[in-house]
A and B are shown apart, each in its own frame.
Chain A
Amino acid sequence: MDKEPARTEERLSVGGIKLSPELVLFNYSRHVHQACALLPTLRTLSHQQINIFFLSLARHGPEDTVTTSFCVLPEFRTSTMAALTAMNTTDNNITSCSNVGVLSIYPHRHNLSLLGKVLSTLAGQGVPIHGLCTSISALSILTDFKEFDAAVTALAGVLDLPPNHSPFRQEFRIRQICS
């Protein structure tokens, strides 16, 4: 396991914070033996060239349920919901939440302190947490898009960021119209 990063006055040293554009979150749950709407949905989104900014999947519970949480841009909310509900199975549970965003802290260095401080700080300050997932270097938190500033302010008390650091926000994106 990586060596624990340096602590400055109990703050954890990290490289930076990145903020996503505004997104829509979908939560989809089904029992494993029920027909799965996830794969057809992913195929539809791929066919329509819709990027998924964040996805987590967990299999859980005594009834063996699989829950998938994923995010797309707001302009694709309707088509994504249509894809998820296309199978018309009433036993599946689909919810959506608009106006969310992904706040990514990097690098995490597999540090449980970082995970712990992020959870306890945001929860303690009342910043909503809709989800969290780690990647090779980043710890990404799903929160309300309008709470980004509050989240960054709260985390500044437990994270030691580089001098003159400002959370990176994408200001524009280039999208290929056709392949």
Chain B
Amino acid sequence: METIAVYWEPIVRVYGYDVKRDISLIELELPLDMLEDIGDQADQLARSGKGFTMTLVQQATEHSFRICLVTAFQDADAVFNLFQKTAIENPELEIRTPHKVELLSFHGPHFQDRYGIAEATFNALDPSDITIFAAGCTGTSVYLIVEEGKAEEARNILSASFVVPEAKARKDLLRH
């Protein structure tokens, strides 16, 4: 049994921000009946030491899916090449050339149970010219995949709405 408390604070406190660079976004669109094969290929990639930074899947149509897979930049070609081989044999699978992106992520207490987190995030970034290629708000986390060179700017903008409590900020400062 778990107790969930819903609360609101004028400036949301977070545990910290994380910026990842040297990552690439790979996008696929595939029919429903290829999902199992793509899953098998992801397993194959893992056995050769590849992992993911972030991933999301959306249903594009009733019979097709869209997959956004963010990997380390040095792994992107290997990941792309494996899926591209499949795409050559299966024209219904579309894959786009990987492009370099950056990730800004942050997480806070009970994000999954609190209203207003997504609104604060996207509302803060809307006036900027930062392109968001992909985003996920699940569990206690907010993940934003932005164009290369923009994660720091995004963090600066969001820091007005999502604050790291001072003691932690000081520790982070000393660590970096």
Contact = CB atoms under 8 A, between A and B. Distances in A.
| A interacts with B | yes
Interface of A: 1-2, 4, 27, 38-39, 42-43, 45-46, 49-60, 67, 69-70, 102, 104, 109-121, 123-124, 129-138, 140, 168, 170-176, 179
B137 A55 contact: yes
A13 B72 CA distance: 23
A113 B47 contact: yes
B118 interface: yes
Most chain-B Cβ atoms within 10 A of its Cβ — which of A52, A57, A124, A129?
Answer: A57
Sorted nearest first, the 6 A-B pairs with minimum C-beta distance are: A120-B39, A116-B42, A119-B39, A116-B43, A135-B139, A113-B46
Contact of B133 (A43, A59, A124): A59
B158 interface: no
Nearest to A177: B6
B138 A54 contact: yes
A140 B55 contact: no
Interface of B: 1-8, 27, 29, 32, 35-47, 49-60, 65-66, 68, 72, 105, 107, 112-120, 122-123, 126, 131-141, 143
Nearest to A179: B8
B3 A136 contact: no
23 contacts: A27-B58, A45-B115, A46-B120, A51-B112, A52-B137, A57-B135, A58-B58, A58-B133, A60-B29, A67-B66, A69-B59, A110-B53, A116-B39, A120-B35, A120-B37, A120-B39, A133-B138, A135-B107, A136-B141, A138-B139, A170-B2, A173-B113, A179-B8
Contact of B136 (A39, A51, A55): A55
Contact of A137 (B43, B54, B139): B139
A136 B105 contact: yes
Nearest to B123: A39
A176 B6 contact: yes
